[in-house]
Structure 1
């Protein structure tokens, strides 16, 4: 007779403290998103899967849970899906059903998405990449889903640009150039400022799964910075990006505010209680440190702030 192995994980722990998240990370699965009248989007996604653990239970049955998680994810990704957040939501709900000791299940997913672009001046076909971020949390109170994206762009520092403009003005005055000519020149020719590669992240979390296309989120994030960047760039494209970025110099704080405005304008159908997370991090070119800003707010709050700004 085969000896039954003890279920150590189901025993009581030495320290009776509950845990918010216990699970696995780095689970890779192929995800297919169907689209009407178009080829499906295929993503190589990496998942993180967690459940909460009560204080009276020692462990979460990692080996057995991995089998459950694998079956759950396989079932979720094999079904017809149009949104990555629904894949996460389905998996989280399945996990909640299969764990009688847990009150909350969470599934997170990240994947690289390739977009097809044209360079701004030479009109060459090129590709860009963005990181898709999706998650879902399931509990007895319902399921909250989150969808977002993280992109790379370019920013220019308004402070250093202002100093360059002051230097240019002083030089032109020393050359006896008329003031109105100087004003027009500085208006038409943006002065240099130190530039940096920027990383913009926008996620939207809500209940009830309002329709949000992650490709629209990618556009909001890319447009929040001083200029978009491209993998391929001929000299006219380089000139275009340099000019456009310096013509729209932005602090890291300005980028987050631009994201807020972009979300409100792009997604008017979002409920007021949808939560938006916006982050901007810049790889500084003349400092050893980096700059960072972020905002987490309900859409209703952002709408009220922007309406107040427009009223002023």
Structure 2
């Protein structure tokens, strides 16, 4: 049984992958999608979105990272997949699940679920282009508007050469509206002979138990649930292994938040770093009431030095959250 960290464009970048995978429980993660249109991308483009390629395709904690491609041109995707392998990608993942309107309008992501023959052609060409030792996997939704074609899409992907499927248990039309239809994951697993991962609406250990019961699969990909509760994979892994489950408290999260801020400060300009901090902190408010207090304190703060004083050891100023920080 494996636990994966989902690729979430604009959210789970290399910084957040770095921080989250340093908690235990995550077996592998996936890069943000690399958009492929009509040309062979340069190596720097891959390194921008998947810098782990320069470090053995692993995060600082040693968690393997797969490279995800998004597009609709089978030959062009195949060429770029081959390049990604040359750059060190251990697995090529193909995105057929992104629900974003801008992506779908340019014929990428979930809109391709309307064309099972194209799904098969894409996976088949990519499979032929990359070394036999490197798996090709795919992420899909249940469909674009309706789930009626979900099984045909799953067949097309696996028949094309996908060694594994992640199924986000909603259609593109449903977006992220609850509930996720985990029973459809069971239907997909019944008709394909490769491992299927359940994805969608697993926010807690209890959700994972219910998802496993309904879907019949134990493998899970965690997205917003893990971003909002950074020890969720750790909790699930402990339960899987029959070990006691001790959830993180806010004082466990604060050092992670400080580390995330430091990494953001190094990589991003002062104009954008505060926004990234607030983005993650806003998601943490779902699981930690203290996050809402901190978010209210920094909501309108864009001065990086003042944020340093609140969050970083040795620079903390007295404030609502300073006393809660260890040290």
TM-score bracket, shorter-length normalisation: under 0.3
Q: TM-score, normalised by structure 2?
A: 0.27
Q: TM-score, normalised by structure 1?
A: 0.27
Q: Which has the higher helix share?
A: 2
Q: Which has the higher strand share?
A: 1
Considering only CA atoms, is the larger Rg found in Structure 1 or Structure 2?
A: 1
